[in-house]
Amino acid sequence: MIRCPDRHENPQTLAHCRVCGLPLIDPLREIGPFIENLRARTILGMPKSMNVLIGTGSVGKKLVLEAAIPGNNGQGEAYSYLIADSTAVSDLATGKTLFNVRIGDAGSHGALFCGSAEHAAEGDLALVPALKGCGLRSNDDRQTVILVTALGGGTGSGTAPVVLRHCHALNPGLNGFVLAISPGEDESVHAHVNALYGLARLLDNGPMSDGVVVVQYDRLKHVHGIGNTGEEIKGEALITSILQLMLSALRSPNSMKFSRLNRAMQTHVLVPCLALGRSLKIFGNLGNVFRSALAYPLAPLIKDNVTISYLLLRIPRRLAQECTDNLVADELSAFNRKYLPGVRAMLFQTTIVEGQSDRIDACLLLGGDSIANAAPAARANYEKFRRQLGDRWPAYGLTEERGRSAEQLIASYDARMEELRESG
């Protein structure tokens, strides 16, 4: 209810009092923009972070909260954090710069479709000030944004592209990477529609991120690794490991070389292959470690289609003298020649970690394959959805035209990849 200046009660939807006809003024709505403006000015006084980690949707939120716990990402104070989800963050006690933007109206409780979440994020006045607070303020090609999200839900798939578009508007030179969890093959039609739409939007406009690392959710069941205290790493924890490797290898200024090469090659969708806690004593050499990673890509991949091969490598200090950059380069190019014959360019980044373990972690990021191969279920489900939908597009916050443009974006990416492969 809202009161008029003469204190008659009225429903919030009216513009004038139903008793006396005086105008109804909602103080919060009137001074909202003023408060946002004030907040933005306060934020601009904060130090600028060169590395920003953003989580969208429930899964993104969980992963960012985990990474923001001091000591968890191995990066000290290098990152600032932003969470954009349909539910609020209750615990901000991480001791870090952590912004929280609530997407959508209070009644939605998280159940949104991609298009509705996209509209909600586009209309959200708090998003840009929060991004400025994270450090996105001016054109700077050293700055890195890593965004983590699942694509099967509505909030993450709808919000992530909007957030990245704002990031590019604030810093056109940024290096942007996404870790995206795509739905498992047996998930619902809606999950696949959200994922295909979200992925298309991430490739839109230029595209919005230099590399989208796609992990298919059900593939996590089949991969196991070893942590530095000998514990088994599986399922959910594998995502955390990939994110940690990305946070340490793709931070400023190293991120620049990856994004520049990726822009030149236009291979924006990357499939990760993970080998965690491998002992060089057991595996003999790095090539064998890479081979064990390639045995089970975390999204479907046709190996002959791979044109670019990145390696994020983490080694303990005691192996630093043994694993020189020259050795890593030699082993990676020999491995590529043998198992990925279509590779035209490669790049790696080694991170040294302290500790007594003699185990190494490797994450190959392989690009050049088509999305139709990396997410076959997405395409089939999208077709099914389109046939069943009839005129109910608005229920999903979409129009037939937006759906078609998403399909075209994916098709043109795939055509570009095919052309690139054939030209080689």
Binding site for ligand GTP (CB under 6 A): 57-59, 86, 110-112, 150, 152-156, 181, 183-184, 187, 191, 217, 236, 239
Please name the residues in contact with 311: beta carbons below 8 A apart, sequence gap of 6 or more: 290, 328, 332, 346, 347, 348, 349, 362, 363, 364, 365
CB of 298 to ligand GTP, least distance (A): 12
Residue closer to Mg ion by CB (options 112, 245) is: 112
- What is the number of the residue whose Cβ is closest to Mg ion? 58
Residue closer to ligand GTP by CB (options 59, 371) is: 59
Build a one-symbol-per-residue string for 124-163: x at contacts with Mg ion by CB under 5 A, - elsewhere: -------------------------------x--------
CB of 265 to ligand GTP, least distance (A): 28
Residue closer to ligand GTP by CB (options 150, 273) is: 150
Tallying the residues shown for the chain, one arrives at 424
> How many C-alpha atoms does 157 have within 13 Å on its Cβ side?
29
SS3 305: helix
Q: Rounded to whole angstroms, how far apart are CA atoms 63 and 219? A: 18
CB of 151 to ligand GTP, least distance (A): 7
Residue closer to Mg ion by CB (options 59, 170) is: 59
58 binds Mg ion (CB under 5 A): yes
287 binds Mg ion (CB under 5 A): no
Task: Choose the binding region for Mg ion from 58-66, 72-80, 213-221, 345-353 (rule: CB under 5 A).
Answer: 58-66
Residue closer to Mg ion by CB (options 181, 366) is: 181
Residue closer to Mg ion by CB (options 155, 309) is: 155
Identify residue 341 by its one-letter amino acid code.
P
CB of 183 to ligand GTP, least distance (A): 4
Q: Rounded to whole angstroms, how far apart are CA atoms 360 and 226? A: 10
Residue closer to ligand GTP by CB (options 49, 381) is: 381
CB of 221 to ligand GTP, least distance (A): 12
Residue 156 interaction partner, one of ligand GTP, Mg ion, none, beta carbon < 5-8 Å per kind: ligand GTP
- Beta strands 232-234 and 2-3 are unpaired
CB of 120 to ligand GTP, least distance (A): 10
184 binds Mg ion (CB under 5 A): no
Looking at 340-375, list the stretches that DSSP marks H as alpha helix, in order from N- to C-terminal side: 371-374
CB of 182 to ligand GTP, least distance (A): 7
- Beta strands 175-182 and 144-150 are parallel
Residue ranges of E strands in 20-109: 51-56, 79-85, 98-102
Angstrom CA distances, 321 to 316, 317, 364, stand at 10, 8, 22
Build a one-symbol-per-residue string for 99-128: x at contacts with Mg ion by CB under 5 A, - elsewhere: -----------x------------------
Read off φ and ψ for residue 122, nearest 5 degrees.
Answer: -65, -30
Residue 111 interaction partner, one of ligand GTP, Mg ion, none, beta carbon < 5-8 Å per kind: ligand GTP
Q: What is the DSSP string of 234-286?
A: ETHHHHHHHHHHHHHHSSTTTHHHHHHHHHHHT--EEEEEEEEEEEHHHH-SH
CB of 160 to Mg ion, least distance (A): 13
Q: Rounded to whole angstroms, how far apart are CA atoms 405 and 262? A: 24
Structure tokens at 49: 């972070």
Residue closer to ligand GTP by CB (options 115, 207) is: 115
Residue closer to Mg ion by CB (options 100, 155) is: 155
Q: Rounded to whole angstroms, how far apart are CA atoms 95 and 73? A: 14
Residue 148 interaction partner, one of ligand GTP, Mg ion, none, beta carbon < 5-8 Å per kind: none
Angle at 145 between CA 233 and CA 326, to 5 degrees: 65
Please name the residues in contact with 193: beta carbons below 8 A apart, sequence gap of 6 or more: 113, 114, 381, 382, 385, 396
CB of 153 to ligand GTP, least distance (A): 2
Residue 74 interaction partner, one of ligand GTP, Mg ion, none, beta carbon < 5-8 Å per kind: none
CB of 50 to ligand GTP, least distance (A): 27
Q: Give the residues lining the site for Mg ion (CB under 5 A).
A: 58, 110, 155
